[in-house]
Amino acid sequence: MTSSIVLIHAVRSSRTMWKGQTRRLREHGFQVIAPDLPGHGRRRGEEFTLQSALATIEQAVSDCEQPPLLVGLSLGGYLTLHWASRNPGRLEAVLAADCTIVPGPAMARLYGLWITMKDWLPGDSDTRVARAFAKRHSRKASRRYYGGGRAHGVVGTVVRTISSLDLLADIAMIDVPLTFLNGEHDPFRRHEALFLEAARDGELVILDDAGHIANLSRPKRFTKVLRRAAAGAEMGTGVEVGNGD
């Protein structure tokens, strides 16, 4: 059981995407640390590298009063798994959300090229992207996801970095309870069975009627799962969490 939680955000977002979880968790007495990754939020002028991203997690974990629950979503989830695999004895538990797909190098290059090109198209303005995000989620979700500004020029480096990791090997090295939390409609669920099989002590939780950014699709339910993981309570593999949002 721990009262410290570290939250690592998704690509092109910032710490502001965790605003709902941060408020609710602190109301329940948790110490919550949600840093900006390099190249994002208040650090948008910095270069994103694997080393600088891992250093960000290192600092956040070191600032915790207790060994924390380390949480990451999408990009944050991949980084969380990699950091945890290399730092035994430092954490109470790990929760990786919306990141259960192994991106092959070819897929990663194509995705990175597509997003990079979109970033520089005249019609791909921050306002239009935020509006499109709001249609898929809500205006509040859009404000939170892009509350620290939309990070530009990082996606190519990010996908090359993540595709270079041996994620299943990382998972096998993690020495604490590991929860995979996916939105029901998340396209990144493709390899969740492989991720679960690789874990020493793993469980899979599905948020009913949630998408890829599950903490914004179903914020109350997402927070409930975080609280249970921090308390060391198992939810049972494959359980679907519904209601409450």
What's the count of helices (H) and strands (E) in the chain, helices before strands? 11, 7
pLDDT for res 151: 82
Of 24-28, 57-61, 239-243, the one with minimum mean pLDDT is 239-243
Residue 124 has pLDDT above 80, yes or no: no
Q: 196 CB contacts (<8 Å, ≥6 apart)?
A: 180, 202, 203, 204, 237
Residue 107 has pLDDT above 90, yes or no: no
User: Which residue did the predictor score with more confidence, 165 or 240?
Assistant: 165
Residue 98 has pLDDT above 90, yes or no: yes
Q: Using one digit for the tens of pLDDT, what is the confidence trace for 143-192?
A: 888 888 888 878 888 888 998 899 999 999 999 999 999 999 998 899 99
Residue 117 within any structural domain of the chain: no
Q: How confident is the model at residue 238 (pLDDT cuts 50, 70, 90)?
A: low
pLDDT for res 16: 96
pLDDT for res 198: 98
Residue 156 within any structural domain of the chain: no
Strand spans (E) along the chain: 4-8, 31-33, 69-73, 93-97, 178-183, 202-207, 239-241
pLDDT for res 115: 57
| Rounded-to-integer distance, Cα 31 and Cα 45, Å | 28
Q: How confident is the model at residue 110 (pLDDT cuts 50, 70, 90)?
A: low
pLDDT for res 174: 98
Residue 21 has pLDDT above 90, yes or no: yes
Domain harbouring 91, CATH code: 3.40.50.1820
Q: How confident is the model at residue 67 (pLDDT cuts 50, 70, 90)?
A: very high
Instruction: Provide the number of structural domains found in the chain.
Output: 1
Other beta carbons less than 10 A from residue 238's beta carbon? 11
Calculate the dihedral angle through the C-alpha atoms of 128, 103, 44, 132, rounding to the nearest 10 degrees: 10
Q: How confident is the model at residue 125 (pLDDT cuts 50, 70, 90)?
A: low
Average pLDDT over residues 55-82: 98
| Rounded-to-integer distance, Cα 80 and Cα 12, Å | 17
pLDDT for res 145: 84
pLDDT for res 3: 97
pLDDT for res 108: 59
Other beta carbons less than 10 A from residue 209's beta carbon? 15
Residue 155 within any structural domain of the chain: no
Full-model pTM: 0.90
Query: Over the chain, what is the mean pLDDT?
Result: 89
Residue 39 has pLDDT above 70, yes or no: yes
Residue 134 within any structural domain of the chain: no
Residue 9 has pLDDT above 60, yes or no: yes
Residue 154 within any structural domain of the chain: no
Residue 113 has pLDDT above 60, yes or no: no
Structural domain boundaries, residue 10:
4-101+167-241
Calculate the dihedral angle through the C-alpha atoms of 205, 63, 79, 83, rounding to the nearest 10 degrees: -100
| Rounded-to-integer distance, Cα 62 and Cα 110, Å | 36
Q: 69 CB contacts (<8 Å, ≥6 apart)?
A: 2, 4, 5, 6, 91, 92, 93, 94, 95, 226, 229, 230
pLDDT for res 85: 98
